[in-house]
Amino acid sequence: MTTTDTADLMDYDEVMARFDPVLGLEVHVELHTNTKMFCGCPTAFGAEPNTQVCPTCLGLPGSLPVVNGKGVESAIRIGLALNCEIAQWCRFARKNYFYPDQPKNFQTSQYDEPIAFNGHLDVVLEDGEVFRVEIERAHMEEDTGKSLHVGGATGRIHGADYSLLDYNRAGVPLIEIVTKPVVGAGERAPEIAKAYVGALRDLLRALDVSDVRMDQGSLRCDANVSLMPKGASVFGTRTETKNVNSLRSVERAVRYEMRRHAAILVDGGEIIQETRHFDEATGTTSAGRRKETAEDYRYFPEPDLVPVAPSREWVEQLRTTLPELPWERRKRVQQEWNLSDLELRDLVSAGALDLIASTVDAGAPADEARSWWVSYLAQQANSRGVELDALPITPAQLARVIALIAEGALTNKLARQVVDGVLAGEGEPDEVVAARGLKVVSDDSALIAAVDEALAAQPDVAEKIRGGKVQAAGAVVGAVMKATKGQADAKRVRELVLERCQ
């Protein structure tokens, strides 16, 4: 253990008075291709350990890799969406290191010839300010297996009795996206780090290349932080906080490291170049391993794979498949729905905006889509303790419910029951309507019978209506609605009451 574990922290304002931060963000995204990057094994998350493996991803002698075309296509689309140049010709490289979760003793990655390079991502901060993050590269590689350390208190290897290995994840396609050094962020560095990872997540989701689940590790962020004295231009020594697994933690980890570095530096101490682990519970980081330099990995070109040389026609064809980017969509819907900046920000921070937009794209009017997501569905998400987008209902399903209301087939009350059914896993809206018998009673003969019955039950009210007191009809309408368990169209019932009393 190093002395950096007993950390003093400097007050954040004082950090900013003395230092300028430099960030470097490395994001690993697991692609949701059906098969692994260099073999035909499936990639589904959560399968029994070591059931999704073959000689190639286990690194057995004589097995040969074949590159996954869908993986290359996704890498190019990500590169294009990040405004990168796409290599005319590039190769895979072997990154050599021994670790039990890496059965080949090397990771097939890319080194000096990445598929995409020199891009940028414009990140919109909470107050609307835009900060441009320059992208150094996006390259293809494969994931490692997973070690499970048993017996220790922390789940880490230290103190464990033994370790188990699961190679299901070994060989799953990964894209690593690396920023250029982020300078000039100043006091907003932690916020910019969070906003960048959030924008990248939204972008990757819109591209439909990954599940982007930080909690399941399909999107992981390594945050490099260093400080230099105010006005200096030579970067300080950096630390790399590994595998930060939520947006909030990215912000906290960067802020913590800035405060920790500053306290060491003003004390005349030295920052050790190392990896750090972020502890969600305490909000602190602790030392990992000393950081290897690039030559320790003895990279060399992978001899078993042919170079990747995407034709310009293919690249341009892929460019046409790029979806509307999340921030463009936000700008468009803000105008179309006539939202103030504050309203827009509220919808974005509630995670509702993209869901509403998708519901509108599926044919629903904007007002109704918005009202469902921010009220009834927000309540449901709240009571389940999940994010809005984790609710088991899709924008298309909600749009169908809204269409059924517009057709008069559902009342609002019935529609909520249909949504409840979808959330409970009872199927598509139409299936729930059929299974629960929730259709509005619009058959006039059934309604007339119910109206006549209600009039007969309240002869004095019927007499008033016949005498011209149409406002008395409300009581009869109420009785019919009650008798039909809310499944009648109230407007039609009222018309029938008045007709029957003429």
Q: Residues in the site for Zn ion, rule: CB under 5 A?
A: 39, 41, 54, 56-57
**Do residues 83 and 116 make contact, with C-beta atoms less than 8 angstroms apart?**
no
Q: Closer CB to Zn ion, residue 56 or residue 74?
A: 56
Q: Closer CB to Zn ion, residue 64 or residue 306?
A: 64
Nearest CA-CA partner of 189 in 133, 119, 237: 133
Which string of DSSP letters, residue by residue, matches 190-214?
A: HHHHHHHHHHHHHHHHHHTS----G
CB of 108 to Zn ion, least distance (A): 12
Q: Closer CB to Zn ion, residue 173 or residue 190?
A: 173
CB of 60 to Zn ion, least distance (A): 10
Q: Closer CB to Zn ion, residue 39 or residue 357?
A: 39
The single-letter DSSP state of residue 90 is: B
CB of 121 to Zn ion, least distance (A): 33
CB of 171 to Zn ion, least distance (A): 5
CB of 95 to Zn ion, least distance (A): 19
CB of 164 to Zn ion, least distance (A): 19
Which string of DSSP letters, residue by residue, matches 19-88?
A: EEEEEEEEEEEE---SB-SSS--B--TTPPTTSS--TTTTT-TT------HHHHHHHHHHHHHTT-EE-S
CB of 296 to Zn ion, least distance (A): 27
Q: Closer CB to Zn ion, residue 54 or residue 374?
A: 54
CB of 212 to Zn ion, least distance (A): 24
Nearest CA-CA partner of 223 in 199, 255, 200, 201: 255
Q: Closer CB to Zn ion, residue 63 or residue 286?
A: 63
For 12-50, give one letter per residue: b (16+ CB within 10 A) or e: eeebbeebbbbbbbbbbbbbbbebbbbbebebeeeeeee
Q: Closer CB to Zn ion, residue 69 or residue 474?
A: 69
Name, in order, each residue with C-beta under 8 angstroms of 248's C-beta and a sequence gap of 6 or more.
194
C-alpha triplet 134, 141, 317: angle, nearest 5°: 65
Give the span between the Cα atoms of 16 and 271, in whole angstroms.
18
C-alpha triplet 259, 261, 266: angle, nearest 5°: 95
Give the span between the Cα atoms of 303 and 102, in whole angstroms.
18
Q: Closer CB to Zn ion, residue 56 or residue 487?
A: 56
